[in-house]
C-alpha cells in the first residue's frame, strides 16, 4: 500500500485530507509540522508527501530543504494558501515536485498525487531490459548489443513509460499529464510528434513496437520471442 505523509498544522484540513486519501486506498500518516514529519520519516517508508508551507517549529520550505540536502527523493506536493509567484518559485528551487493552492480542490489534488506517484515509479526503476535492448533512465540511453542511442528526455520518458507497462493503453492526455505535467502549455499533438520520432528511430528493432489504438491512444508491445 502507498504511504502518504500529510504535513499540516490545521487539524480540520488534516482530517479532510486523511478521509479523502484513505477513500482512494492510500495509507495516510499525519504530522503537525516539519519536525514531527522528519521523525516519522526516520522510522517509516513514505511514498509521497502532501506539505503545507506555514507551520510552527519547522515550515514547509525548511522541511523540503532538509530532505533534499539529505538526498531524499520522495515526491513532495506543496499545498498552501500562499499565492505569490515568489513562494511557488522558492518551493520548486528547494525541490518540491508540484504545487497546489488552498482551498484545496480535492479532485485536482488526487490527480496530481497519482501523476507524481507514476512518475516516481518510472524514475526509481532506472533500468529496463527487453531482450538485447536496455533502457537506462539515468543516462537517457537505449542500448542494443554494442550500439547506443542517445534519446531526448521527453522521448525517452515516453518510450520508457510505454514499455514499462506493455500492452496497457495510455491516452494522449494521460501521457501529457505524466510526462509533460498537468500545467504544460503543450498540445496533445506533441505526443504524436514524439511517437513518430521514436518509431522512426527504432524502426529496425524487433524487440518492441509502439502501436496506435484508434480513438484511444498508444501502447507498447513487446515481442515475447525476443524477451529474456
Give the chain as a 3 state SS string: CCEEEEECCCHHHHHHHHHHHHHCCCEEEEECCHHHHHHHHHHCCCCEEEECCCCCCCCHHHHHHHHHHCCCCCCEEEEECCCCHHHHHHHHHHCCCEEEECCCCHHHHHHHHHHHHHHHHHHHHCEEEECCEEEECCCCEEEECCEEEECCHHHHHHHHHHHHCCCCCEEHHHHHHHHHCCCCCCCCHHHHHHHHHHHHHCCCCCCEEEEEECCCEEEEEECHHHCC
**Residue 148 shares a structural domain with residue 97:** no
Partners of 86 in the β-ladder: none
Locate 85 and state its grid cell.
509567484
**Residue 115 shares a structural domain with residue 102:** yes
Query: β-strands 3-7, 48-51: how paired?
Result: parallel
The pLDDT assigned to 123 comes to 62
The pLDDT assigned to 186 comes to 66
**Residue 152 shares a structural domain with residue 212:** yes
The pLDDT assigned to 42 comes to 85
**Residue 80 shares a structural domain with residue 133:** no
The pLDDT assigned to 162 comes to 92
The pLDDT assigned to 172 comes to 87
The pLDDT assigned to 73 comes to 84
Measure the CA–CA gap between 56 and 92, rounded to whole angstroms: 21
User: Which strands, in side-by-side order, build the sheet including 217-222?
Assistant: 170-171, 217-222, 208-213
The pLDDT assigned to 163 comes to 92
**Residue 118 shares a structural domain with residue 171:** no
**Residue 131 shares a structural domain with residue 118:** no
Structural domain ending residue among the three candidates 68, 97, 122: 122
| Cβ proximity of 51 and 76 under 8 Å | yes
**Residue 132 shares a structural domain with residue 195:** yes
Residues of the chain with pLDDT under 70: 1, 82-84, 122-125, 182-186, 188, 226-228
Positive or negative torsion for Cα 63, 68, 74, 80: positive
The pLDDT assigned to 228 comes to 57
| Four-CA torsion 153, 128, 205, 207, nearest 10 degrees | -150
Measure the CA–CA gap between 65 and 52, rounded to whole angstroms: 14
Domain that holds residue 105: 3-122
CATH number at residue 103: 3.40.50.2300
**Residue 102 shares a structural domain with residue 135:** no
Structural domain ending residue among the three candidates 96, 122, 148: 122
- The residue written with cell numbers 501502447 in the block is 219
The count of domains in the chain is 2
**Residue 28 shares a structural domain with residue 134:** no
CATH number at residue 187: 1.10.10.10
Amino acid at each position: 500500500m502507498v504511504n502518504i505523509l500529510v504535513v499540516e498544522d490545521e487539524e480540520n484540513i488534516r482530517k479532510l485530507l486523511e478521509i479523502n486519501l484513505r477513500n482512494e486506498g492510500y495509507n495516510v500518516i499525519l504530522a503537525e509540522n516539519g519536525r514531527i514529519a522528519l521523525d516519522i520519516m526516520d522510522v517509516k517508508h513514505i511514498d509521497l508527501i502532501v506539505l503545507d508551507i506555514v507551520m510552527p517549529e519547522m515550515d514547509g520550505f525548511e522541511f523540503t530543504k532538509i530532505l533534499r540536502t539529505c538526498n531524499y527523493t520522495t515526491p513532495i506536493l506543496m499545498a498552501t494558501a500562499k499565492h505569490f509567484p515568489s513562494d511557488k518559485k522558492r518551493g520548486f528551487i528547494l525541490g518540491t515536485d508540484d504545487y497546489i493552492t488552498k482551498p484545496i480542490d480535492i479532485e485536482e489534488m488526487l490527480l496530481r498525487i497519482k501523476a507524481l506517484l507514476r512518475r516516481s515509479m518510472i524514475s526509481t526503476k532506472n533500468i529496463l531490459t527487453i531482450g538485447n535492448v536496455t533502457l537506462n533512465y539515468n543516462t537517457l540511453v537505449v542500448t542494443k548489443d554494442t550500439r547506443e542511442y542517445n534519446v531526448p528526455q521527453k522521448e525517452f520518458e515516453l518510450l520508457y513509460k510505454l514499455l514499462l507497462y506493455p500492452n496497457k493503453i495510455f491516452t494522449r492526455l494521460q501521457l501529457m499529464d505524466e510526462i509533460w505535467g498537468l500545467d504544460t502549455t503543450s498540445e496533445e499533438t506533441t505526443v504524436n510528434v514524439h511517437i513518430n520520432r521514436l518509431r522512426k528511430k527504432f524502426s529496425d528493432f524487433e524487440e518492441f513496437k509502439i502501436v496506435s489504438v484508434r480513438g484511444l491512444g498508444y501502447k507498447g508491445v513487446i515481442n515475447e520471442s525476443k524477451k529474456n
